Structure 1
Amino acid sequence: MKLHKLLIILFLSTIALSATAQTESQLRRKKEAIQREIEQLQKNLNKAASGKKLTLQQINAINAQIRLRQDKIGTINSEIKNLDNQISQNTNTVHTLQGQLGDLKKEYAGMIRFAQRNRNAYEKMMFVFAARDFNQAYKRIKYLQQFSQYRKKQAGYIENTQTELNGKIKVLDKTLREKSELLKEQERERERLGKDKNQQSAALNQLSKQERQFKQDIVTRKKQQAQIERAISAAIQREIERRRREEAEAARVAAAKEAAARAAAIAKAKAENKPIPAAVAPVKEKTTNELLTNDASSAKLAAGFENNRGRLPYPVSGTITERFGVHKVDQASMDNKGVNITGAEGAAVRAVFDGEVFLVSLIYGKYVVVIKHGNYFTIYQNLRTVSVKKGDKVDTRDAIGTLANSGDVAELHFEIMRGQTNLNPEAWISK
């Protein structure tokens, strides 16, 4: 029973540690990914630092770096918590093994003492011959054989338990060292976070000195973005109107056929003196999203896009430095219809899902590409070059162009629209 209890404890401990190891591996990968993003942002900031004028992209990059640094510290805290759980589990296992080893040694000592008392063949024979009958003598012979076998097994159990105990102690020591290293790393990241916040404070002080120029830059950006959005909106509206005309024409033809068929049915009913059939109810006008998915291929693309919510790949390798929605930088208000992803100049920009290139336009010296996925549209702004044209079919992760440098940093503006409604891309792309 004690052996069974020991095996159960070791089995449960192995399962728990396996699950923890998996989580630990995931956390390590996440931490490494965050560090890569921080390093890329720092490269961009170093490049932009040579300019005397502070830009919105620089401020967003500094803020994003602080956010990433905080995420990394949070990930390290999770790693430490995992290690604490491992330390607790291993400590409990070590105590259990030590207790089991002590019990096994006591039992083995008792067997050794018994064997010492009955160590010569004469005493064993007397033990057998002292039996009441042949059956009891046979049982005593079997007992002596089984006792000898059990004593050997018990010695094996002690040896295995001692080996397992030594292994667990080594793992425990290794885990304690890992925790010590993580605590040092956490302290280093806290120091770097403090430097990042000092950099943020210095940037905001510089911003107050350049307030007029900074506000003018934001006004210019708003005007340019508004023009791009009008061009995209107009293209989508034209597509909707084209679909509406096609639907209206199809409805007109169907209504004419229905009218002719009804006239024939009425004439026949009158001739046969039967009730006149009821008129067919008018077809309800389709919504914008229904118009954009009124064919099988468009409906399939839209359904596939929806099913991949939260799993779409990043359109470019980088970090989100400006998020979706209304937010303020100093006293200036910004309404971002998508997200801005800072990456490396010339990096490949890729389609996030299968679709058809809906629009390629050159505005303010940079390319804009819009891809249609049924009633969904993905928009890629600030491309230096493009490798697709209107009407091209693209697959997920196909390269559509390269990222341009917008002033100080290379930044992709990425949007997702459902019909004419903007959606938050962070809810759709993979974490």
Structure 2
Amino acid sequence: MKHKTYFLLTCFVSLFLLGQPAFAQRTRKTRAQLEAEKRRNLEKIAETRKALETARAKKEVTVGNIKALKEQISSQEEQISLMEQDIELIDMEMQDIISAKGTLENRLNKLQQEYAAMLYAASKHSGQLNKLSFLFSASSFNELLMRYKYLQQYTENRKAQVLQMNKVTALLRERQTNLEGKRTDKKKIITAKVVETKNLEVLKTKQTLMVGELSKKEKDLRREIEATRQSVTKLDNLIAGIVSREISRKNKETELKQDNDAKLKNIAPAKKNNKAIIELDATETTLGRSFGASRARLPWPVQKGFISDRFGVKEHPVLHGVMINNNGIDIQTPSNATVRAVYAGVVKDITSIPGLGKVVAIQHGDYFTVYANLSQVFAAVGQKINTKETIGTAGESGGATEINFQIWHNTARLNPENWLAPK
């Protein structure tokens, strides 16, 4: 029965070796995701740092500068968090390697013991004569064939044992090298984390100083907040007016069609049933559905930039207790940056609003995208726009080059951050 034992052991070790790529693949996937997040966050830190360097050159503290600094602090904290996740991941990888290494060592030890037993058994019955005696002492021809096959398999198993021991030994060396590499990586990340934590403290100190300096201009800031609120109200009314006009236009088209159909059929006209949402034709329905399916995949309205103010209600970056609201997101971008449409559609309105610069509204079926605080506009009302087509250039707001970007579904405001693709 020994040959069956050797055969099963060989199969087990082979299956173990074949299973190694699955372990590596799982680790690579997790590692790749983490590295991608770290890379994106570092790019974001670089963008905010560049914006702050530009502001420093102007030697003026503004709300835009503080928003950029706040975003850099957030990115710095995220980087430290990613480093901590990296250390945890390395610990898990090291544990997996140690566990696999221990299993391999056990396998190798058992293989060596079994191989030693095979050699000892072979030495007791060595020589061609003994093998022939073993064969020809069979009681029948069938038994002779079985003994011959057994000797063949016994020889092959010995060779397989040596091969498997060599493979396991090589794999052990590889695991040991990987383990040493992970330990080195962990030391580097711990050192880098200390540096980044010090940088974070420097940024927070700078933020405190800037907020303190700007808070001295409280009256100016409150006037600016009130002016912004008025501008936002005008923009809300603008978008609501566009949607209302589209609803009215579609309702009139529907009524006219119903009246014409009634005349042709010589029946009384249908009762008016004005809808509160835009009724779309087949082309517009397809466009709206396509836009709706693009959640988390839309290109950014600027090629370079970072979100400096997020959607919804939050506290003012300088004045404590003062709440401000954003119906979209603010995106800081380099000076004279071009602004582009995030999706194909039709330009429905272009206007100027004090405090928000030039504003472009584009319809995508029953969705609308709004691009505010543009210094120039390169589009016209009624123009069909393609995805990523340039519609203008970014203007200045709060001492920084910044645009406000909004997404509406009929009259409902949506958080654009959930719709833009990760950078």
* TM bracket (short chain): 0.7 to 0.9
Partner of 1:395: 386
Tell whether the 8 Å contact from 1:313 to 1:397 is kept in structure 2 after alignment.
yes
More displaced, 340-349 or 233-242?
Answer: 233-242
Partner of 2:267: 261
CA distance in 1 between counterparts of 2:145 and 2:238 reads 101
Of the three residues 74, 91, 98, the one matched with 1:67 is 74
The structure with the larger Rg is 1
Q: 1:124/1:6 Cα in 2 relative to 1: closer, same or farther (>3 Å)?
A: closer
Partner of 1:427: 418
More displaced, 369-378 or 64-73?
Answer: 64-73
Per the TM alignment, residue 252 of structure 1 is displaced from its structure 2 partner at its CA by 3.6
CA distance in 1 between counterparts of 2:100 and 2:305 reads 44
Letter in 1 for 2:412: T
Q: Cα deviations across residues 178-220 of structure 1 (Å, max 9, x unaligned)?
A: 2222222333222222222222222222233222222223233
Partner of 1:417: 408
Of the three residues 52, 56, 59, the one matched with 2:63 is 56
Q: 1:408/1:351 Cα in 2 relative to 1: closer, same or farther (>3 Å)?
A: same
Q: 1:135/1:5 Cα in 2 relative to 1: closer, same or farther (>3 Å)?
A: closer
Tell whether the 8 Å contact from 1:6 to 1:97 is kept in structure 2 after alignment.
no
Per the TM alignment, residue 420 of structure 1 is displaced from its structure 2 partner at its CA by 2.6
CA distance in 2 between counterparts of 1:44 and 1:324 reads 21
CA distance in 2 between counterparts of 1:287 and 1:16 reads 57
Partner of 2:334: 344
Does residue 197 of structure 2 align to residue 196 of structure 1?
no
Per the TM alignment, residue 116 of structure 1 is displaced from its structure 2 partner at its CA by 2.6
Q: CA RMSD in A?
A: 2.6
CA distance in 1 between counterparts of 2:133 and 2:410 reads 99
Q: 1:242/1:140 Cα in 2 relative to 1: closer, same or farther (>3 Å)?
A: closer
CA distance in 1 between counterparts of 2:408 and 2:154 reads 79
Of the three residues 260, 269, 275, the one matched with 1:287 is 275
Q: 1:236/1:140 Cα in 2 relative to 1: closer, same or farther (>3 Å)?
A: closer
Partner SS for 2:307: strand
CA distance in 1 between counterparts of 2:142 and 2:290 reads 79
Letter in 1 for 2:403: L
CA distance in 2 between counterparts of 1:403 and 1:337 reads 18
Per the TM alignment, residue 358 of structure 1 is displaced from its structure 2 partner at its CA by 1.4
**Structure 2 matches for 1:25-64, cutoff 5 A?**
25-51=32-58, 53-64=60-71
TM-score normalised per structure 2: 0.87
More displaced, 388-397 or 89-98?
Answer: 388-397
Of the three residues 300, 304, 311, the one matched with 2:297 is 311
Partner SS for 1:70: helix
Letter in 2 for 1:351: A
Tell whether the 8 Å contact from 1:383 to 1:403 is kept in structure 2 after alignment.
yes
Per the TM alignment, residue 257 of structure 1 is displaced from its structure 2 partner at its CA by 4.5
Does residue 415 of structure 2 align to residue 408 of structure 1?
no
Partner SS for 2:351: strand
CA distance in 1 between counterparts of 2:62 and 2:224 reads 8
Per the TM alignment, residue 159 of structure 1 is displaced from its structure 2 partner at its CA by 0.9
Does residue 332 of structure 2 align to residue 360 of structure 1?
no
Tell whether the 8 Å contact from 2:370 to 2:405 is kept in structure 1 after alignment.
yes
Tell whether the 8 Å contact from 2:247 to 2:279 is kept in structure 1 after alignment.
no
**Structure 2 matches for 1:221-260, cutoff 5 A?**
221-257=228-264, 260=266
Letter in 1 for 2:408: M
Q: 1:233/1:261 Cα in 2 relative to 1: closer, same or farther (>3 Å)?
A: closer
Partner SS for 1:15: helix
More displaced, 22-31 or 206-215?
Answer: 206-215
Partner SS for 1:200: helix
Partner SS for 1:92: helix
Q: 1:124/1:8 Cα in 2 relative to 1: closer, same or farther (>3 Å)?
A: closer
CA distance in 1 between counterparts of 2:367 and 2:144 reads 89
Q: Cα deviations across residues 1-30 of structure 1 (Å, max 9, x unaligned)?
A: 333333444444431331221121122112
CA distance in 2 between counterparts of 1:68 and 1:98 reads 44
Q: 1:255/1:124 Cα in 2 relative to 1: closer, same or farther (>3 Å)?
A: closer
TM-score normalised per structure 1: 0.86
Does residue 162 of structure 2 align to residue 176 of structure 1?
no
Letter in 2 for 1:299: T
Tell whether the 8 Å contact from 1:17 to 1:86 is kept in structure 2 after alignment.
no
Partner SS for 1:377: strand
Tell whether the 8 Å contact from 1:368 to 1:382 is kept in structure 2 after alignment.
yes
Unaligned runs of 5+ in 2: 1-7
Q: Cα deviations across residues 231-263 of structure 1 (Å, max 9, x unaligned)?
A: 4443443333333333333344344455x236x
Partner SS for 2:387: coil
Per the TM alignment, residue 374 of structure 1 is displaced from its structure 2 partner at its CA by 1.3
Q: Cα deviations across residues 373-427 of structure 1 (Å, max 9, x unaligned)?
A: 1121100112233332222222222232232333522211001112233222123
What percent of counterpart residues are identical? Answer: 29
Of the three residues 335, 341, 358, the one matched with 2:325 is 335
Aligned length: 410
CA distance in 2 between counterparts of 1:168 and 1:148 reads 31
